[in-house]
Amino acid sequence: MYLRGLELQGFKSFPDKTVLTFGKGITAVVGPNGSGKSNISDAMRWVMGEQSSKALRGEKMAGVIFHGCATRKESPFAQVTLTIDNEDGALGIDSEMVSVSRKLYKNGDSEYLINGSPVRLKDVNELFMDTGLGKDGYSIVGQGKIADIVNGKGSDRREIFEEAAGVAKFRYKKQEAERKLIEAEDNIARLTDILAELEARIGPLEKQCEKAKRFKVLDDEKTALEISVWVTRLEQYRQKLADTEERLEVLKTQYSTLSDELADSEAKIEADLRKSAECAAEVDEIKGRIHDAELEGRGGEADIAVCENDISHIEENILRLKEQIENSRADKYFLESELAQRRKELEELSTKQSDAEQEITAKEKEFDKLISEADESDKAVSEVNSKISAAYLEKSRLSFTAENLKNTMQETSEQLEANEADRKELEANSELAEKELKKLRKEHERKQEEKAEKENVLGGMTKLLEKRRERLEAAEREYSQAQSRLTETVSRLGILGDLERSMEGFGYSVKHIMNAVKQGRISGVCGTVAQLISVEAEYSVAVETALGGALQNIVTETEDSAKRGIKLLKEAKAGRATFLPMTSVKGTRLDDARLKNEDGFVALGCDIVKYDKRYEGIVRYLLGRICIAEDIDAASRIAKNNGYKFRIVTPDGQVVNAGGSYTGGSTSKSTGILTRKNEIEKLERSKAQLEEQSAKAFEEKEKYQNEANKLAADIEGVKEQLGILGEECIRAELEIKRVSEFANGYEERLADSEEAEKKLREKLAQADKELDEALKAEAETDKLIKENESLLSDSVEEQDKLKAKRDEISTQLSQMRVANAETGKDIQACRESIATLEKTITDREGDGGRLTLDIAAEEEKIKGKRDEIERIRQKIADSGVLAEKLAKQLEEKRRQQHEYGDSAEKLRAAQRSKLEEKETLAAQVSRTEERKNAVTADFDKLVNKLWDEYELTRTTAAEQAQPVEDMQEAEKHLTELKNKIKALGSVNLGAIEEYAEVKERYDFLGAQLSDVNVSKEELCKLIDDLTEKMRSVFMQSFDTINRNFKSIFKELFGGGEGELILTDPENVLECGIEISVQPPGKVITSLMSLSGGEQSLAAIAIYFAIFRYSPAPFCLLDEIEAALDDANVTRYEQYLHRLTDKTQFITITHRRGTMEEADVLYGVTMQEKGISKLLKMNAGQTSMLEEN
């Protein structure tokens, strides 16, 4: 088996379909950093089932999909296919070529395929198991794995050794067997609990079954006699009902005639009253119209006042507008005067500007003449200045030379002084060094004391950490106990939930109906009584005792639903059940007013259960006449005081029956339906409390864990401080040594200082001689400068006179030009002012015309307002006329209203006597109907009893009934039968079927428990066999790999010793694996003491040892030799070649030596940013070819 090819599409930096083909031997993948080489390694790891995005160098799995670049859109999916040559059948698949594919879509969906068929991740893992391949095998080795095998924990190294040893498949089988064992133990626990529940029910059910059979014999006889008695009584009721209906018909006829007469009279009264009401309405309408007319008149007067006020305001506005016209005329006169003055100013300024320009021209001519004379004078002064400058240059040179000599002398003197100061400083430094030594020794002692103090603190913190860890252990125990209790509660809940869902305790017929409801085969069923009520645990036994088999009664919405249920049971031959239609079952309740005063009375049965209001009739029917007492004594006392008329039940299930019989004894607290329901509710509450306790315990555990972690961190901090203090002590010792060395060297430096002083004094005497010569030459140069400066003085005096006159004329010219410019500005300002005045005058003329138009408009408004006042006054006059006319109509309507009212009152008086007669007839009809209803109620009640008790209609009952000649004797015998039945106590008729069903279920589950126990024993034996096999196989392979490692280590390192050591030889399947190495010429106490290259070479030696023992079909090595030097790379490549006879290698590398040894080279480039391309070169080729 070997790797034939790898195909990538949309994976990381390979957006296009890219295929790599591999032959036997070594294939090297090369390329610059960032080109995408390692993405090939990630692709192989990913297709073999890697689930960690971090292992693939990403934050999340969607990161493997090509996410696009500047020139490419993102890929919709990533797909990698691995093609393996399986000619030897090593993969366990009947196919010479096996392809494994993995595909991931952007929406997160993924799929695995083997030879194109969809499979699970588990199937991929099992395919590669014990082949050395797969994500957990040793077929892909990167730098990370090299580092992990050296730096990781001993326990973490086991994976590759187990994979090489072939232990992985045994461990997988063992884990599967252990998982099945846990499931078996869970099933045993559940079956044991269910069997315990069933066992507790079988005994009582067997007794109930015998009792039910005796009951059925008596009940059948009672039923036949009771039906005959009831049919006879129904015939008596029917005859009595016919007589009552005949009398009722006569009374109703008389009542109807009288009612017709009263109706006619009432119609006349209503007509008169209606007409009277119409007149009243018209009176109100006329009153309203009169009121509106009066309001309209008053409103008109207000409108007139408003108009007069508006006229006043408009007249005031006209006066204001006329005043504005006068003001505008005055402004215009003033502006015209101002305009004339501005025009006069403009003329004067223009004349002034013309005169100034003539004076400026004359001055400019005079200024040009002076400039020409000044230029001639400048030339003469320049020649003298040149001579003086040459003399000054020579003087400067001589001065510079003298200054340099002075500086030299000064520097030499300063050096002498500095040398003297240095000597004094050396002497002072010697003293300072002694002082510094004392200070350093004192600081060193302080650091030693601080170190000792920190060591004491460390000891205290270590003890405190031990206490915190003790508390943490206690908190962990508490959390574990809370979790254990929670697990037990959840387990018990599961068992009871199964019993509740399977309706354990209900009869077969009831289960059949409820299953039909779930399947939608019957509608209108609300549920069983047990499902529709709830009761506190304190009274659950009392209610279960009181209801007995009625708990299994089925509540329906209508009688039709009940009939459908009975039909369903008949057709399925599924037994009998009692149905309670909400439309026909109307229960009553005892009057508990007197009972509340009884000592020991708790409540009526219907008051201690909880239920939906819509089932109130059902609950009262079942529990409304049942009393709950505190105990049997209280029950006996209450029953006696009330003549034994109703049943009384105690919380522990003792009963005083109606008629005086007692039923009691012990009851099972865990077998009742309501008890189970209450226990489930209690367990749900307990579960919530335990979850809260568990959460609190977890918080407490986390708190102590955090405190312990913090203390541990603080201890590490103190240890770090101790380390720093230790380093500071060492540095102080070194500083003491350094200062001592300085002090010892001060004497040598003092001798050097005296020699330097002698040389400086000789240099000072030479500089003094050269300075005297430079000063004499400088004096001669000063004499020449004075002669030329005298000649220059005369020339400069003449030049200054010409410049002064030129500057004076220049100043005058400037002043004249400035004055002329100011005059130009004044002319411009004057022109702008004239334009503004002319515009303002034009605006004032326009304002006058506009204001005159506004006055005319206001006067027109006054005329409109006066016209409106006239219209309003006419409207007020019209309203007065209308009000007088409406007053007359009002009087007439009031008269008609009184006439209709008097007529209705007369008819009402005549009607009263007939109403009294009608009431008498109504009372007779009512009494007769009551008698009829009473007979009908008795009749219907008896008919309902026939249906409720025996599900018989009257006709069917009549067919079954036998003639009753002596009703008194028949009823006496019926009472005797009932007493016999009552003496039996509560009877569970469903116990016959339920006992058979429970017994069958008990036997079935017992057989299942036996099978599961056998299965458990087989699993335990299998686990023991697998463990022994794993131990044997692992030790055999480990010894071989260890021997291989020893020899390969020596070969790769050129000597030395290497060994693999089990940390716990007694527990070979769980212990870690440590690495012990000694390179030649070195003593190593820890792997961390090795250099990076040595660590890598040691790890490579381990992998080579594994390959020698169990060669993988192919292996990808991702830059594992990066840390090796050239010599070690050569040894690495030589040994790698020796393994190629059994293993195919793909190496990702940067090293030249590895490339040279490869049979095929793949080059990865990134010519387009973000997109990787492949080039291929076989051995012997001189250039690479691009691969698709």
pLDDT at 654: 92
* Residue 592, in any domain of the structure: no
pLDDT at 276: 75
Predicted confidence (pLDDT) at residue 1187 exceeds the cutoff of 70: no
Q: Which of 191, 168, 187 is nearest to 179 (CA)?
A: 187
pLDDT at 6: 93
Q: Band of the pLDDT at 1083, cuts 50, 70, 90?
A: low
d(CA 205, CA 216): 16
Region 841-845 average pLDDT: 70
Region 1090-1105 average pLDDT: 83
Which helix or strand (DSSP H or E) is residue 299 part of? Answer: helix 167-501
Say if residues 62 and 1161 touch (Cβ distance below 8 Å): no
Give strand ranges (E) for 557-642: 579-581, 601-604, 609-610, 626-629
Query: Lowest mean pLDDT: which of 105-109, 720-724, 1006-1010, 1071-1075?
Result: 720-724
Q: Band of the pLDDT at 655, cuts 50, 70, 90?
A: very high
Q: Band of the pLDDT at 302, cuts 50, 70, 90?
A: low
Say if residues 1121 and 1149 touch (Cβ distance below 8 Å): yes
Predicted confidence (pLDDT) at residue 596 exceeds the cutoff of 60: yes
Of residues 281 and 11, more confidently modeled: 11
Per the structure, the count of domains in the chain is: 1
Q: Band of the pLDDT at 792, cuts 50, 70, 90?
A: low
Of residues 829 and 589, more confidently modeled: 589
Report which listed range, 203-207, 984-988, 1039-1043, is most confident: 1039-1043
* Residue 1076, in any domain of the structure: yes
Predicted confidence (pLDDT) at residue 663 exceeds the cutoff of 50: yes
Residues 6+ apart with CB under 8 A from 538: 651
d(CA 1092, CA 103): 38
pLDDT tens for 173-203 read 887 888 888 888 888 888 888 888 777 777 7
d(CA 1068, CA 285): 114
Q: Band of the pLDDT at 132, cuts 50, 70, 90?
A: low
Predicted confidence (pLDDT) at residue 113 exceeds the cutoff of 90: yes
Region 549-553 average pLDDT: 87
**DSSP secondary structure code for residue 22 in this structure:** -
pLDDT at 528: 92
| Residue 164: burial class (beta carbons within 10 Å; 0-12, 13-18, 19+) | buried
Ranges of H-type helices in 502-536: 508-518, 529-532
CA angle 622-626-631, nearest 5°? 140
* Residue 1143, in any domain of the structure: yes
Say if residues 602 and 566 touch (Cβ distance below 8 Å): no
Of residues 394 and 810, more confidently modeled: 810
Report which listed range, 113-127, 392-406, 688-702, is most confident: 113-127
pLDDT tens for 137-171 read 677 887 667 767 777 676 667 777 776 677 777 77
Predicted confidence (pLDDT) at residue 393 exceeds the cutoff of 60: no
* Residue 730, in any domain of the structure: no
Pairing outcome for strands 140-142 and 1114-1118:
parallel
Give strand ranges (E) for 652-801: 655-656, 662-663
pLDDT tens for 484-497 read 787 778 777 777 77
Which helix or strand (DSSP H or E) is residue 884 part of? Answer: helix 673-950
Looking up residue 21, the CATH number of its domain turns out to be 3.40.50.300
CA distances from 171 to 149, 177, 246, 302 (A): 21, 10, 97, 110
Share of residues in the chain with pLDDT > 70 (%): 88
pLDDT at 1183: 47
Report pTM: 0.40
- DSSP three-state, residue 521: coil
Helix axes 991-1053, 167-501, angle to 10 degrees: 160
DSSP string covering 737-771, please?
A: HHHHHHHHHHHHHHHHHHHHHHHHHHHHHHHHHHH
Residue with tokens 């017992």: 1006
pLDDT at 501: 73
**DSSP secondary structure code for residue 1089 in this structure:** G
**DSSP secondary structure code for residue 1079 in this structure:** -
Predicted confidence (pLDDT) at residue 668 exceeds the cutoff of 60: no
Region 243-268 average pLDDT: 78
pLDDT tens for 1038-1051 read 889 889 888 888 88
Domain containing residue 36: 2-178+1029-1187
Q: Band of the pLDDT at 711, cuts 50, 70, 90?
A: confident
pLDDT at 187: 83
Write down the mean pLDDT value for the chain. 79
Pairing outcome for strands 110-114 and 117-119:
antiparallel
* Residue 410, in any domain of the structure: no
* Residue 1055, in any domain of the structure: yes
Of residues 382 and 106, more confidently modeled: 106
d(CA 609, CA 396): 128
Predicted confidence (pLDDT) at residue 400 exceeds the cutoff of 60: no
pLDDT at 670: 46
Predicted confidence (pLDDT) at residue 634 exceeds the cutoff of 70: yes
Predicted confidence (pLDDT) at residue 691 exceeds the cutoff of 70: yes
Of residues 6 and 448, more confidently modeled: 6
pLDDT tens for 312-321 read 777 777 787 7
d(CA 1175, CA 1185): 5
pLDDT at 629: 94
Which helix or strand (DSSP H or E) is residue 973 part of? Answer: helix 967-983
**DSSP secondary structure code for residue 91 in this structure:** T
Predicted confidence (pLDDT) at residue 555 exceeds the cutoff of 90: yes
Count how many residues are written for the chain.
1188
pLDDT tens for 941-971 read 887 777 777 777 878 878 878 888 888 888 8
Predicted confidence (pLDDT) at residue 417 exceeds the cutoff of 80: no
- Please report, as a single letter, which amino acid is at residue 83: T
| Residue 355: burial class (beta carbons within 10 Å; 0-12, 13-18, 19+) | exposed
* Residue 51, in any domain of the structure: yes
Predicted confidence (pLDDT) at residue 1185 exceeds the cutoff of 60: no
* Residue 85, in any domain of the structure: yes
pLDDT at 279: 77
